[in-house]
């Protein structure tokens, strides 16, 4: 049974349809796995056993009746704990929402249920998705399945660790500045951020509304393509949701890539990139060349400003979005306040962690009178120019490639007291969120300590079909996904 947990979604589906295993047995095997290793890994905040088993029973009934099933029916999934799932705790890994039970389903949760995908439980994250290591959770530190002394990346560290540690076959995360791609890179799996608006944000606890996007994790490119198909599409509950048809991404995988142009982002392969990462990414570029693609060096001169722009815009939006957590209607409220002002200040002081407070204060400062034009407005203008840099690049090439991160997973505790060093971890991923384009991270090698290295692939807006096609061809030509973590 343990071997089946290590298989891809399509291999597990085959076993279900051939009746080698039932969906209920598969889900129960995942719960047994979680029970045996999650004390070490710390991926899950809560489990949804009853809901997951009910969904699995429904799948088994349909298989017995020889009814058609959605492609991922019965395949166990972990849900990031900032996505609402009715009648379960949705905490955003924050004390302020520690006991909040969601009264409704996020649109993606509804779609998972419609696709008969069993949701095993809610997984850990950096509080309110603010962080790059999953050390900022109010509840626990999630560990990397490849080396439990190291971080899994963040903020969707619980999602990536659950898939890499065989506690779930699939997972959903959210990506505001790299929060899917970075953990995918650190944990040696595939994770992708769709085009902004491709997936509904309704029911996602907002961090930065113009940057947040929900996306899939899987063991392979096909798994992520199938999961994106299941959750994408227009939603009238989300005004930023794009009203366009969803292609069958899984049909785009196997097309020939001879003659396609692969742009290598010059600024992301220079100083600051570790030697192991550089070698692995250069070898990946060579693989594309061997597959018949044309390699073009691309310069994105404004990329150096992306961290500064991001940490003004994201914190400004966070300070506005997080104003709703005030102890009035739901969530934590301080005990026996003397007056309304004390209730607000003490509730927020007790409920929010240090990183969340830091970002709220930064954002409030950037939006304050006298500073708005100098910071927020200027950052919006540079954001526009960064997007235009990408537009020009995609006139010359089909996709862009770079390291997902300049380094591999670092030791737990090594950067937590140095916020700037932690922020620089996202140098390769942030610009895709600023430009609203899709990005994917997939394994492309290992460092000298045996830790995974991620290759980032970026495509133009709504170019997910291109992204998956180029990623699938690389995956087929290499064997990184078959290497398994130590845990």
* Kind of pairing between the strands at 294-298 and 213-218: unpaired
DSSP states of 78-106: EEETTB--TTSB--TT-GGGTT-B-SS--
155 is known as an active-site residue: yes
Residue 210 annotated in active site: no
C-beta of residue 310 within 8 angstroms of C-beta of residue 175: no
| Strands of 194-309, DSSP E | 213-218, 261-265, 294-298
Structure tokens at 313: 């815009």
The answer to whether residues 106 and 202 touch, using CB atoms and an 8 Å cutoff, is yes
Q: What letter does residue 326 receive in the DSSP assignment?
A: S
**Selected catalytic residue, list 22, 102, 156, 179:** 179
Q: Which residues 6+ apart lie within 8 Å of 275 measured at CB?
A: none
Query: Residue 400 has which token pair?
Result: 């862009």
- DSSP-derived secondary structure for 384-434: HHHHHHHHHHHHH-SEEEEESSSS---BTTSSTT-HHHHHGGGTTTHHHHH
Do 75 and 170 meet the contact criterion of CB atoms below 8 Å apart? yes
Degrees (nearest 5) of the Cα angle 413, 363, 424? 40
Supply angle C-alpha 354, 359, 365, rounded to 5: 125
Q: Collapse the DSSP code of 278 into the 3-class scheme (helix H, G, I; strand E, B; otherwise coil) and give the result.
A: helix
If we measure between CA atoms, which residue out of 301, 224, 251, 298 comes closest to residue 8?
224
User: Is 179 an active-site residue?
Assistant: yes
Residue of 80, 140, 150, 466 with catalytic role? 80
Burial (CB count within 10 angstroms: exposed 0-12, middle 13-18, buried 19+), residue 298: buried
Q: How many other C-beta atoms can be found within 10 angstroms of the C-beta atom of residue 259?
A: 9
Q: How many CA atoms lie within 13 A of 66 on its CB side?
A: 0
User: Which member of 93, 132, 155, 402 is catalytic?
Assistant: 155
β pairing state of 77-80 and 170-175: parallel
Per the CB < 8 A criterion, the answer to whether 371 and 418 are in contact is no
Q: How many Å apart are CA 232 and CA 64, to the nearest integer?
A: 29
Active site residues: 80, 155, 179
């Amino acid at each position: 049974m343990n071997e089946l947990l290590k298989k891809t979604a399509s291999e597990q589906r085959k076993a279900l349809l051939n009746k080698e295993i039932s969906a209920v047995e598969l889900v129960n095997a995942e719960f047994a796995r979680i029970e045996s290793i999650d004390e070490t890994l710390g991926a899950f905040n809560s489990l949804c056993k009853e809901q997951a088993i009910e969904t699995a029973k429904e799948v088994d009934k349909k298989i017995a009746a020889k009814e058609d099933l959605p492609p991922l029916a019965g395949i166990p999934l972990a849900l990031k704990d900032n996505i609402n799932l009715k009648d379960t705790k949705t905490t955003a890994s924050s004390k302020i929402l520690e006991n909040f039970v969601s009264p409704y389903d996020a649109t993606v949760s509804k779609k998972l249920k419609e696709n008969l995908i069993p949701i095993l439980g809610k997984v850990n994250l950096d509080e309110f998705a603010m962080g790059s290591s999953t050390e900022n959770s109010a509840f626990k530190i999630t560990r990397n399945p490849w080396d439990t002394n190291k971080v899994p990346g963040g903020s969707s560290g619980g999602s990536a660790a659950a898939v890499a540690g065989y506690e779930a076959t699939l997972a959903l995360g959210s990506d505001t500045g790299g929060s899917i791609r970075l953990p995918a890179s650190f944990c040696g799996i595939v994770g992708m951020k769709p085009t902004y608006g491709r997936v509904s944000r309704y029911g996602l606890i907002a961090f930065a509304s113009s940057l947040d996007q929900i996306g899939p994790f899987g063991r392979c490119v096909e798994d992520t393509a199938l999961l994106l198909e299941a959750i994408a599409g227009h939603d009238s509950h989300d005004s930023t949701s794009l009203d366009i048809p969803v292609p069958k991404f899984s049909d785009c995988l196997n097309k020939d890539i001879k003659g396609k142009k692969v742009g290598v982002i010059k600024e992301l392969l220079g100083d600051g990139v570790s030697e192991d990462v550089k070698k692995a990414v250069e070898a990946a570029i060579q693989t594309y060349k061997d597959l018949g693609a044309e390699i073009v060096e691309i310069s994105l001169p404004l990329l150096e400003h992306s961290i500064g722009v991001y940490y003004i815009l994201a914190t400004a939006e966070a300070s506005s979005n997080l104003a709703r957590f005030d102890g009035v209607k739901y969530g934590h409220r301080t005990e026996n306040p003397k007056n309304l002002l004390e209730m607000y200040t003490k509730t927020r002081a007790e409920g929010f962690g240090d990183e969340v407070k830091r970002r709220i204060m930064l954002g409030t400062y950037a939006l304050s009178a006298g500073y708005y034009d100098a910071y927020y407005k200027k950052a919006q203008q540079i954001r526009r120019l960064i997007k235009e840099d990408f537009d020009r690049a995609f006139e010359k090439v089909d996709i862009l490639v770079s390291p997902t991160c300049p380094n591999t997973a670092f030791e737990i505790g090594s950067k937590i007291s140095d916020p700037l060093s932690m922020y620089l971890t996202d140098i390769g991923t942030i610009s895709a969120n600023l430009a609203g384009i899709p990005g994917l991270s997939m394994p492309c090698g290992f460092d000298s300590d045996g830790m995974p290295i991620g290759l980032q692939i970026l495509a133009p807006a709504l170019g997910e079909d291109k992204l998956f096609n180029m990623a699938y061809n690389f995956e087929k030509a290499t064997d990184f996904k078959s290497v398994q973590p130590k845990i």
